[in-house]
A and B are shown apart, each in its own frame.
Chain A
Amino acid sequence: MDNALWAFGRMSGVVSLVLFSVAVILGILNRSGRPLFAIPRFSMTLLHRNVSLLATVFLVFHIVALMLDSYAKLNVIDVFVPFLGGFKPFWQGLGTVAFDLVLAVVATGLLRHRLGQRSFRAIHWLSYAMWPIALGHAIGNGTDGTSKWFVVLAAGSLAAVGAAVAWRLSANFLETAKARQGGLS
């Protein structure tokens, strides 16, 4: 039983990480204002949201499983307050920080219409901090952190998200960038 929980906890963590990578990439795609292949823009927005929520659900699975697990023995305080854990406090603390950030990003995302654009935007940018922290946590804390398949997965995610961020920072990122730079049309 314990072994199953342990395995489930680890796998849901990995799934959550992959989904968060996809969420970040979709967020950036969204921001560019472009549709993806035949998927219209509003569907992209919904996709970004739903993938984010799904990733969060898996993150919760990950945490609950490890709280129930007799080996990891995560307690409620460790879930919310970073760097206090008994086992690899730093790496586990990163996970806690990432979780707190996810809570903030998701909660403000769902309350966007109440909060107003400015606060939403400010908090939402924390996504960019959250993702590498979560990746660090996965590599440093995980039992699989150094196994070959995980390294390949982590490197792949890093390359994908890194490429998306680099594109985000490039001059022609916005769909309408060319027209807005003012060529005579």
Chain B
Amino acid sequence: MTEILHIDWTRCDGRGLCTELLPTVLVRDDWGYPLALQATNGNRSNPAISPGNIEAAREAVHLCPKLALSLVPEQAKPRQ
């Protein structure tokens, strides 16, 4: 089952931990905030995480200094 890494923009401060842990999913923008390399329907707040990246994504959720990340099952995808 695919999971989605939800970025809570109201919390994220662009510290760049997640972009280091998930370099194939996220890069940093001009101001340091995570930028999903792939958009799903124009939405770049909920990148899909492939099975190979799940561990790194869990780590990012755990380590994010602002508690801005969460993993959500694909079905419970946030409203867009």
Contact = CB atoms under 8 A, between A and B. Distances in A.
Given A41-B15, A42-B21, A117 B31 contact: no
Given A41-B16, A41-B20, A179 B67 contact: no
A31 B66 CA distance: 11
Contacts of A42: 17, 20-21, 59-60, 63
Interface of chain B, main secondary structure: loop
Interface in A65-81: none
Contacts of A40: 20
A137 B16 CA distance: 37
Contacts of A185: 30
B11 interface: yes
Interface residues of A, number: 18
By DSSP majority rule, is chain A's interface helix, strand, loop, or mixed? helix
A45 interface: yes
B32 A179 contact: yes
Contacts of B21: 42
B30 A179 contact: yes
A176 interface: yes
A96 to B, nearest CB: 30
14 contacts: A31-B65, A33-B14, A33-B15, A33-B16, A40-B20, A41-B16, A42-B21, A42-B63, A45-B65, A116-B67, A117-B11, A117-B67, A175-B16, A176-B14
Which 5 A-B pairs give the minimum distances between C-beta atoms?
A176-B32, A33-B15, A117-B67, A42-B17, A40-B20
Given A33-B15, A42-B17, 15 more contacts: A33-B32, A40-B20, A41-B15, A42-B21, A45-B17, A113-B62, A113-B67, A116-B67, A117-B11, A175-B32, A179-B30, A179-B31, A179-B32, A180-B31, A180-B32
